[in-house]
Structure 1
Amino acid sequence: MTSPRADASAPAGDDTKSPGLILAFLCIAQFMVFLDVSIVNVAIPSIERSLDISAADLPYVVTAYGTLLGGCLMLGSRLADTFGRRRVLQVGLALFGLASLAGGAAQEPILLFVSRGVQGLGAAMIAPAALSTLTVTFAEGEARNKALGIWGGLAGIASVAGVVFGGLLTEGPGWRWIFFVNVPIAVAAVLLAPRILPESKGERRPFDIPGAVVITGGLMLLIYSLDEAITYGWGSARVVPGLVVAGLLIAAFVVIEQRRRDPLVPFGIFRLPTLRTANIATVFFLGSVVTLFFFASLYMQQILEYDALQTGLAYVPLAVMAGVAAGVASQLVTKAGAKPVLMAGLVFATIGLFLLSRADADAAYASGVLPAFLLFGLGMGFSFVPLQIAAQMGVPDRQAGLAAGLINTSQELGGALGLAVAATIAYQNLPDQIAAAPARAQELLMDAFHQAFQVGAVLTLAAFVLALLLPRLKAGPQPAAEAPADETARAHA
């Protein structure tokens, strides 16, 4: 998340610290962040029943985390550079642990939603602090590449572990333990950090607190207004003003960033067409990914009557396929280029979502769910790798950290916004319809799930259209002349 230039100026820290132990510690911290994305999905129906959360408000369990995490990632990176990466990592872990304790103990939906938001804030401090610590610990070249390879593999492992652990914990001690399990890990990590991690800092730069507050507030209000539209309709006085104010806040963020000497997001970097297109495509694609995980969990438990453990295990082939496909894609992009691999991945993902949108209420797993999951997993693996490559293509070295932060932000915010839109469309007037015809509740719920998967397919198709605009990208070193100079290169340096 931090720029290479900042890392180069950072103190090396205590050379007696073991690089292997540092990497293990950072991986555990980041694993906890990844895990909390997938572990919650399997527990969603149990949480809904336990806290009596309405269908309209249920997406907040996911979107509160993603919105704060995505909205504060760039600020977390700046905090880590200024106050010390180890110190910010400890603060983030402490916030994450406290929020997990509060979430597990929640007796009201609002406390759970707030706790998830604070978890996201903590994660937004953990992720950039951990990644920048890794980059200053391992020298550029083979050592750093190996460390980053292990780091990158965590996402796939955590996705498998999350759905399985989510099922085991929900079926065993109960859904609250998907949060409680974080607490001892966070406490141990906070206490052990000074013994294991060196302290390092990056270049001190002014804070863009107004920018961070305005963009996060605008995104939260946007998601809240979309949620209100489920119950009150798009033209409601509770919805339209919220959407208008959210739009004004997001527009204000653009104005603030353009006027600050050291903005949170230097918008000049979006003059790079490949980076711009890749980030927008990522927003759409991650919206479809989070939509699938959220609604497929509800479909399997509320319609197919799987228990939580069966639901978690049902996701394993999808996650394994995604991991295998990512490995294949990393080889293919060096031969065929990133663009055709990305387009193939988005086609596979779209077909997988289309199949789910046609699934029956009595579908067998082997014939009704598994083929869709395998295709979507293949699409995920084929899409993630080239999107990451495209987001860094042509970026000057001094802006590499900024580009990495932007693609991560696009992933988190895309997931939160995509799910909010899908839920708004799928659940529109659903409570009233079920109340008017309770005998048709299952049929109406199945229709809602079909609509959600259709929205997900539209999102992947939108990403596919954007992929058509990308040049034929080859994964490899780019000549310096291909990186257009812009004002933000100087502003961020």
Structure 2
Amino acid sequence: MILAIILVSYFMILLDNSIIFTALPTIHTAMGYSTTGLAWVQDAYTLVFGGLLLLGARAGDLLGRRRVFVFGLAVFAVASLLVGAAQSGWWLIGARALQGVGAAIVAPSSLSLLTASFAEGRERARAVALYGATAGIGASLGMVIGGALADWVSWRAGFFINVPIGVAMIVLAPRFIPETNRISGRFDLTGAVSATLGVGAVVFAIIHSAEAGWGSPMTVAMLILGAVLMVVLVAGERRARQPIMPLRLFADRRRVGAYLARLLYLGAMIGFFYFSTQFMQGVLGFSAFQAGIAFFPMTLVNFAVALTIPRLTRRFGQAVPLAVGVVLTFLGMVWLSRVQATDSYWDAVALPMVLIGAGQGLAFAPLTSAGIADVPAEDAGAASGLVNTFHQLGMALGLGFSSQLQRQPVQVCNQPPWRSPRGWTPRCSPAAAYWPCA
């Protein structure tokens, strides 16, 4: 039950992060957003989520992880209700930012509760493998659910479903999850402010670069501000008695490698989701639901491979599955990058997705395990916060670069595809259909 509550709560956070991709075209029409306003539906969530992760993680260490976890679920559930009920653009963006607050509390708390609840060894390896599988399939399954609800019910339904799930987890968590010991002492206010504003400034700069470019004065100013605040954070953490980001966590090369690898891996994965869903809807003529279903080959393979991770790591260690996973993901990305407007889904998209899904299944659990390896109990929350911070920074960075690659205006081919000997082909000519850098 402890594992189920943690995984369902974490899945709910991931689900909302990807549901928005397939729902954005519908939201654009329903709410009458400009292109910039529509971007902030996702960016408000990303900015707040990334900025508050370290603060949310340390709060669990000081106030009790279960208590903070339940509070985060309550914030996220209320925010989801507000998103679904939004009647104006500013309401929707504000509610998405509030969702980011809840997610920044729940995500690190869920991983630190998992670390505290399962002893290091076989038990924790299995739990982390399932956590990694959840991280892998959450994004792709969110596409399916978001597309189905947007097509059949409403884009709002994708957010309303969080409310009963959140309420159920709030009721169950105090019953089954024991409270962790709290660390006595004062809160690291300097570290909290510099970490929140510093990470937030970097995320904002990445988001802004997608629209204005890396040479924009605002982008450069926010990057400089973020760098200055991160220097202030490091200097302050050296002297803090109970730092929000203990620098001793960076003394282990394995953990540092896991953080950086996670950042790069998630940067690649978000670009894959960003372009693949647009290609399938804009060029192949898929509906939002069909585009979501089209991610199933990756999702199923990902889950199946992730379940073998405990056995593989016992036999080969963590480095071998991780290296193989990264290589498989890379090969799948290279294959997918060769796709043409006249190619069929099965040959050019589904088969590369199988490789990417296998790579994800092999990579996520070792990356998570290495990020929290050999961490003392009092630093479990901070380590979990760093894992999620690099996860979110990677997504923001990948999305920023992906958006900059999209130089052409979006022209969606609204004609249904026709069946040819090669498979489903769009009726529109490749020049009329949208494809990045076409």
User: How far apart, CA to CA, are the structure 2 residues paired with 1:443 and 1:335?
Assistant: 52
**Match for residue 416 of structure 1 among 350, 372, 396:** 396
- Structure 1 residues 379 and 57, CA gap change in structure 2 (3 angstroms): farther
User: How far apart, CA to CA, are the structure 1 residues paired with 2:314 and 2:124?
Assistant: 20
**Match for residue 426 of structure 1 among 402, 405, 422:** 405
Match of residue 285 from structure 2: 305
User: How far apart, CA to CA, are the structure 1 residues paired with 2:372 and 2:65?
Assistant: 24
Give a deviation string over 1:184-217, Cα, whole Å, max 9, x none. Answer: 3334444565555554442224322332333332
Deviation at 1:98, TM superposition (A): 1.9
Match of residue 270 from structure 1: 250
- Structure 1 residues 134 and 173, CA gap change in structure 2 (3 angstroms): same
Q: Are the counterparts in 2 of residues 63 and 419 from structure 1 also a CA contact under 8 Å?
A: no
Match of residue 127 from structure 1: 107
Matched, 1:254 2:244: no
> Which residue identity is paired with 1:122?
G
Deviation at 1:282, TM superposition (A): 1.1
Match of residue 314 from structure 1: 294
Match of residue 81 from structure 2: 101
- After TM superposition, the structure 1 stretch with the greater mean CA deviation from structure 2, 397-406 or 303-312, is 397-406
Matched, 1:225 2:214: no
- After TM superposition, the structure 1 stretch with the greater mean CA deviation from structure 2, 408-417 or 232-241, is 232-241
Matched, 1:184 2:164: yes
- Structure 1 residues 110 and 129, CA gap change in structure 2 (3 angstroms): same
SS at match of 1:239: helix
Q: Are the counterparts in 2 of residues 280 and 410 from structure 1 also a CA contact under 8 Å?
A: yes
Q: Are the counterparts in 1 of residues 118 and 127 from structure 2 also a CA contact under 8 Å?
A: yes
Matched, 1:166 2:141: no
Give a deviation string over 1:133-179, Cα, whole Å, max 9, x none. Answer: 55656677776666666555543554454232212211111111111
Match of residue 447 from structure 1: 436
User: How far apart, CA to CA, are the structure 2 residues paired with 1:191 and 1:393?
Assistant: 31
> Which residue identity is paired with 1:288?
A
User: How far apart, CA to CA, are the structure 2 residues paired with 1:222 and 1:141?
Assistant: 36
> Which residue identity is paired with 1:31?
F
Deviation at 1:314, TM superposition (A): 0.5
User: How far apart, CA to CA, are the structure 1 residues paired with 2:366 and 2:299?
Assistant: 18
Match of residue 488 from structure 1: none
Q: Are the counterparts in 1 of residues 267 and 397 from structure 2 also a CA contact under 8 Å?
A: yes
**Match for residue 155 of structure 1 among 112, 126, 135:** 135
Q: Are the counterparts in 1 of residues 108 and 384 from structure 2 also a CA contact under 8 Å?
A: no
SS at match of 1:261: coil
> Which residue identity is paired with 2:104?
A
- After TM superposition, the structure 1 stretch with the greater mean CA deviation from structure 2, 156-165 or 390-399, is 390-399
- Give the fraction of aligned pairs with identical amino acids, expressed as a percent: 37
The correspondence of residues 281-430 of structure 1 with structure 2, limited to 5 A, is 281-392=261-372, 399=379, 402-423=382-403, 425-428=404-407, 430=408
Count of matched residue pairs? 422
SS at match of 1:202: coil
Match of residue 85 from structure 1: 65
User: How far apart, CA to CA, are the structure 2 residues paired with 1:184 and 1:237?
Assistant: 44
Q: TM-score, normalised by structure 1?
A: 0.74
Q: Are the counterparts in 1 of residues 50 and 203 from structure 2 also a CA contact under 8 Å?
A: no
Q: Are the counterparts in 1 of residues 136 and 302 from structure 2 also a CA contact under 8 Å?
A: yes
Match of residue 474 from structure 1: none
User: How far apart, CA to CA, are the structure 2 residues paired with 1:142 and 1:329?
Assistant: 11
Match of residue 116 from structure 1: 96
> Which residue identity is paired with 1:271?
A
Deviation at 1:107, TM superposition (A): 4.4
User: How far apart, CA to CA, are the structure 2 residues paired with 1:58 and 1:347?
Assistant: 35
SS at match of 1:446: coil
Q: Are the counterparts in 2 of residues 71 and 212 from structure 1 also a CA contact under 8 Å?
A: no
Deviation at 1:89, TM superposition (A): 2.6
Q: Are the counterparts in 1 of residues 130 and 307 from structure 2 also a CA contact under 8 Å?
A: no
Give a deviation string over 1:381-421, Cα, whole Å, max 9, x none. Answer: 22223323443456567655544442233222221222123
Deviation at 1:224, TM superposition (A): 3.1
Q: TM-score, normalised by structure 2?
A: 0.82
Matched, 1:216 2:196: yes
> Which residue identity is paired with 2:102?
G
Structure 1's unaligned 5+ residue stretches are 1-19, 451-493
Structure 2's unaligned 5+ residue stretches are 412-427
User: How far apart, CA to CA, are the structure 1 residues paired with 2:171 and 2:366?
Assistant: 38
Matched, 1:29 2:18: no
> Which residue identity is paired with 1:371?
L
- Structure 1 residues 87 and 223, CA gap change in structure 2 (3 angstroms): closer
Deviation at 1:53, TM superposition (A): 4.3
User: How far apart, CA to CA, are the structure 2 residues paired with 1:389 and 1:40?
Assistant: 29
- Structure 1 residues 161 and 325, CA gap change in structure 2 (3 angstroms): same
- Structure 1 residues 56 and 247, CA gap change in structure 2 (3 angstroms): farther
Give a deviation string over 1:289-337, Cα, whole Å, max 9, x none. Answer: 1221222222211222211110111111111122223334544444444
User: How far apart, CA to CA, are the structure 2 residues paired with 1:411 and 1:120?
Assistant: 14
> Which residue identity is paired with 2:190?
P
Deviation at 1:263, TM superposition (A): 1.1
Match of residue 419 from structure 2: none
